[in-house]
Amino acid sequence: MSSLFADMGGTNVRFGYSKTENSSIIFTETYKVSNFSTVEDAIKLYCSNYSISPQTLSFCVAAPTNKNSIIFTNNHWTMKKDMLRDALGSKNILCINDFTAQALSQTPYFKSGSDKKIPDLNTSSTSFIKKFSDGSPDQASPIFVIGPGTGLGASILVCIDDTFKALQAEGGHTHFSPTSEIELELLIWLQKKLGPVSTENVISGSGLENIYQFLSYRQSKPNGSKIRAERIGALALKGDPLSLEAVNVMLGALGTATANGVLITGSFRGAIICGGIIPKLSKLLSKSPFYDKFIYNKPSYSNLLRQVPIYISSDPFSGLKGCQQAFQNKFLKSEINRFSYD
């Protein structure tokens, strides 16, 4: 059956299409969410552009997916799964969390020990996944997946009978835990601005903007609130001191959050960093506090964490590939056409 795949993030929605469940994804497009009032409008435009009528829909969203009604956490969209399926005239619909899709898209790289073939980050390989740090992974343990984008996503991959099950998590909504004096100052400043401070208030696109504003305030520099995350990242790559400091604070916090995730979930097979931000900043990662925060913030467990390899995933269409993987995943069959009414 022909399938439509959609990765519905906070800022962008990406579409892809396959003529059969196992065929390659074609007709990939990226639209701005802000250009469409509803999910249906965006899907209908995409289908019209390619004159397609998909029989199945598999999509991932930046929101909890256990109910029929979906309320997006980082944009204005809402929808009902059953009404969307009927409106588009499709037979089947599957909706999963965006980071469940991100996690599932990584699984081909880890089947049957194939992770040993993943190239190092500093090589010229065109692979979408590369190894940032080596280790001695425990093949029987889960893999932790985390990534900052519009928000901060997390998931856990568990291999059961040679098939990976992706456990949904909401790691971005845990409380931010400072581990340095500047992070503590940042927390206090953000509490005055936001109230309770979640991890994604620091590790995300908006989090990077928050950090830059805080550092501008701290250094009595005006206009800190007018610079967007993409611009901050670009300036950091050019060596701008304030932007580079903001990026380093965020990457240090990411190191801590990754270590926490690995330890909480027992993910000693590895940690995968994905999302829209880190691949763009990968050149800064090795000189940032990221790895030191990952290893040394937990003195009693630094030797254990040193054995956990860290991977960087940069595939811009990983969400679509995860949606395709999801439709074929035996652990998600029961979720197809499942509508838990509110």
The pair of three-digit structure tokens given for residue 113, joined into one six-digit string = 């020990």
Q: Confidence band (pLDDT; 50, 70, 90) for 90?
A: confident
Give dist(CA 100, CA 277) in Å, integer. Answer: 18
Predicted pLDDT of residue 67: 86
The model's pLDDT over 290-315, given as tens digits with 9 standing for 90+, comes to 999 999 877 889 999 999 999 999 99
Averaged confidence pLDDT in the chain: 91
Tokens of 87: 């409106």
Indicate if the pLDDT at residue 260 is higher than 90: yes
What local confidence, expressed as pLDDT, does residue 111 receive? 82
**pLDDT-derived band at 342, boundaries 50, 70, 90:** low
How many C-beta atoms surround the C-beta of residue 19 within 10 A? Answer: 13
pLDDT digit string (tens) for 96-123? 988 899 999 999 999 876 677 888 887 8
Quick: pLDDT tens for 185-208. 999 999 999 999 999 999 999 999
Q: Determine the pLDDT at residue 71.
A: 87
- Above 70 in pLDDT, residue 323? yes
Closest CA to 251 of 214, 216, 213, 291: 291
What CA–CA distance (Å, rounded) separates 169 from 186? 25
Residue 98: per-residue pLDDT: 86
Between 66-75, 126-135, 191-200, 211-220, the lowest mean confidence (pLDDT) is in 66-75
Angle CA 200–153–160, to nearest 5: 150
Mean pLDDT of 161-178: 90
Cα-to-chain-centroid distance, residue 249 = 19
Residue with the bigger pLDDT between 22 and 85: it is 85
> 38-47, 122-131, 196-205, 266-275: which range is least confident on average?
122-131
Nearest alpha-carbon partner for 315 in 166, 137, 168, 108: 108
**Residue of higher predicted confidence among 251 and 227:** 251
List the structure tokens of 193.
Answer: 């601005």
Q: Could you tell me if 272 and 279 are in contact, meaning their C-beta atoms sit under 8 angstroms apart?
A: no
Q: Taking the CA atoms of the chain, what radius of gyration do you get in angstroms?
A: 20
pLDDT the model gives residue 300 = 86
Q: How many CA atoms lie within 13 A of 83 on its CB side?
A: 11
Q: Which residue has the higher pLDDT, 325 or 150?
A: 325
Structure tokens at 298: 């937990």
How many residues can be counted in the chain?
342
Answer yes or no: pTM beyond 0.85: yes
Q: Which residue has the tokens 């609130």?
A: 225
Q: At residue 278, what is the residue type?
A: I
State the pLDDT at residue 152. Answer: 92
Residue 341 has pLDDT above 80, yes or no: no
**Per-residue pLDDT averaged across 258-286, rounded?**
94
Instruction: Assess contact for 282 and 121: CB atoms under 8 A.
Output: yes
Instruction: Summarize pLDDT for 207-240 with one digit per residue, the tens.
Output: 999 999 999 999 887 766 779 999 999 999 999 9
Token digits for 136?
Answer: 């001695």
Q: How far is Cα 297 from Cα 178, in angstroms, rounded to an integer?
A: 11
What's the pLDDT band for 88 if we cut at 50, 70, 90? confident
Per-residue pLDDT, 126 = 78
User: How far is C-alpha 279 from the geometric centre of its chain's CA atoms?
Assistant: 11
User: CB–CB of 203/254 below 8 Å?
Assistant: yes
92-97 and 270-273 strand pairing = unpaired
Indicate whether 5 pLDDT > 90: yes
Alpha helices, H only, the chain: 39-50, 81-88, 98-106, 181-194, 205-218, 229-237, 241-265, 282-285, 290-296, 302-306, 318-328
Which domains, from first to last, does the chain contain? Answer: 3-97+318-335 (3.30.420.40), 129-314 (3.40.367.20)
Residue 307 in contact with residue 136, Cβ under 8 Å?
A: yes
